[in-house]
Each structure stands twice: as C-alpha cells, then as structure tokens.
Structure 1
Amino acid sequence: MPRTFDNLDAFSDAVGEDLGTGEWFTITQKQINTFAEATGDHQWIHVDPERAANGPFGGTIAHGYLTLALVPVLLESAFEVKNLAMGVNYGTNKVRFPAPVPVDSRIRASATLREVTKTPVGSQIVVSTVVEREGGDKPVCVADIVYVWSGAPEPGQSDGEAG
C-alpha cells in the first residue's frame, strides 16, 4: 500500500522523510528490445542474448536509461499525492548507474523527499531515488529526480487558475 498524501501541501510537509519503497518489477528482454527500438541503442550487451552470454555480464542487461525511465512507474507503488492538477518531469540533478540490471531481474525503487520549492506554475519537487536489484549488493540507479507539480484548483476556479 503506497504512502498517501491528501494534497501537495501535505506532501510538502514531508521534506526530509522517507516516502516509501515500491513493489518489485521484472525487467524482460522484450522491454529491453522495445527500449532499444525506441532509442536506436542496439548495443549487443542489451539485445543479443547469445553474444551477451559470453560477455562481461553473462547475459543481456537493461539500458541504464531504461531503468531511469521506469522510475515513475516504480514509485507509483511507493507513494501517492492526491488532488494534483498536473505533474511533469523537469529533469534530474544527478544520475548514476552503479550496477547493471541483468535481464529478468526484479527491481524496485525507494524515495526520499529532498526539496519542495514554490514556482509560478506550482511546486518544484526533488525526490532522491534509489533503485535496487533483488539479490544485488549495490544500487542499479541512484538519481535526484525533479518534477514540477501543481495542486488541484480550489472549488469554483477553472483548471488554469492556481489555488
């Protein structure tokens, strides 16, 4: 069950707190191949199981950026903020991939709320995220993810007005 916040203000009060850990998610070869198609990154360590079996990782591995792209999905089961009008990915302050993600690995993410800063369109949120692999001894991704979220409009306001 994800940790739930009733609104952006309640979430903002959690700066410095652990937001939770999401559920396990399995990385499949099909997902890796689809990501390779979408990005044009067809390096053999990702998409050639036969060659990769004799490579440095003993099989194919997920792209680091696939792991990063999955962070929002991985965090859905960790925490939830209700009554948001919108949220967008703004960027990252730091990303590292300390360990590979072999095909068929299970990964999950945990998060800590680092910062909330008011902006003209809502709030800029910084969430420190650690993605771990089941049975791994090091994280597979460590990232400070930056979002911009805005709360739901107050009753009687249009969707374009800030509350």
Structure 2
Amino acid sequence: MKTFRSYSEVAACIGQEVAVTDWIEVTQAQVNLFADATGDHQWIHTDPQRAAQGPFGTTIAHGFLTLSLLPRFMEAAFAIEGARMGVNYGLNRVRFPAPVPVGSRLRGRLTLAAAEPAPPDGLQMAWEVTVEREGGDKPVCVAEALVRSYGAPAG
C-alpha cells in the first residue's frame, strides 16, 4: 500500500502507476448476494447448471459487481495520512472488456490520471483503474474513478 503524507505528494504521482493490489476471489456466494441486492437474477449469474450450457461454460459475475470492487481495491492500494474522509464522486468511463467467471481471482492496477483541489480542504483525484483476472488476456473492467479526499495536509 502506498501512503501519502500530503495532497502535494499525491499530485506528484500524476501519470504514474501507484499500486497493484493483491488478488481477491469472486465467489458464487458473492454473485448471489449481489443479485439479491440489485434484483438482477439473470441465469448467466445465478444458475450454475444452466450457465454451464451457456457461452462461458459457467456462471459469471455481474459487470456492476466487478465495478463495485473498486473501493475495495482503492482502500488496499493507497492511504492519505490525515484525511478525515474520502468519498466516491463518480465515474467518467467504464468498460467491461471480458467476463469474470465465478472462482476467478481479480486485482486492481491503479494509475493516478489527475488531481485538483476540491474546496474547502480537499483533493479530487481521477484514478485509472484496470481490473485484471488472473490468467486472463484482457482486463475485466477498465474505469476512470473520481474520488475526493478531505482534511489532509495540502503541502
């Protein structure tokens, strides 16, 4: 994990890959809980027997489940000393270039694309996040995530 001591330290990393997280496994239990939370019970996600006959040969995670892992990857990737609060501000771009078969292991690769002041005492960061599947030849999610941090030292 990368620890920043100030917002100026963060800004000095614009254009750099800051972190690659550890692998996490996506389980059928997670997929089923996500389906319950969102109401998206499409068989490709929740019916292993039917999905075995489908295009991927198994159940796959929802794209939005994969996207919902971004805060987990960010928490594992970096910290800003003194920050009292961080918030998700939005997304500029999101793509799901490849499926996530249940049982896959994923990790996040984070590059800081931009950083600018967020009044009164914050910093808005744009993170290019690439979610990789272990053994996969394409990313499973590519997103530009906007995150705001408040309260850390500016300089």
TM-score computed with the length of structure 1 as normaliser: 0.89
RMSD: 1.6
Which one-letter code corresponds to 1:64 in the other structure?
A: G
Q: Which runs of 4+ in 1 moved over 4 A?
A: none
Greater relative contact order: 1 or 2 (C-alpha under 8 angstroms, separation 6 or more)?
2
Q: How many residues align?
A: 154
Look up the SS of the partner of 1:104 in the other structure: coil
Counterpart in the other structure of 1:157: none
Q: CA deviation at 1:72?
A: 1.4
Q: CA deviation at 1:78?
A: 2.4
Counterpart in the other structure of 1:65: 64
Which moves more between the two structures, 72-81 or 113-122? Answer: 72-81
Counterpart in the other structure of 2:137: 137
TM-score computed with the length of structure 2 as normaliser: 0.93
Counterpart in the other structure of 1:37: 36
CA distance in 2 between partners of 1:151 and 1:9 (Å): 13
Q: Which runs of 5+ in 1 are unaligned?
A: 155-161
Q: Which runs of 5+ in 2 are unaligned?
A: none
| Identical aligned residues as a percent | 53
Q: Is the 8 A contact 1:75 1:110 kept in 2?
A: no
Q: Is the 8 A contact 1:8 1:150 kept in 2?
A: no
Larger radius of gyration: 1
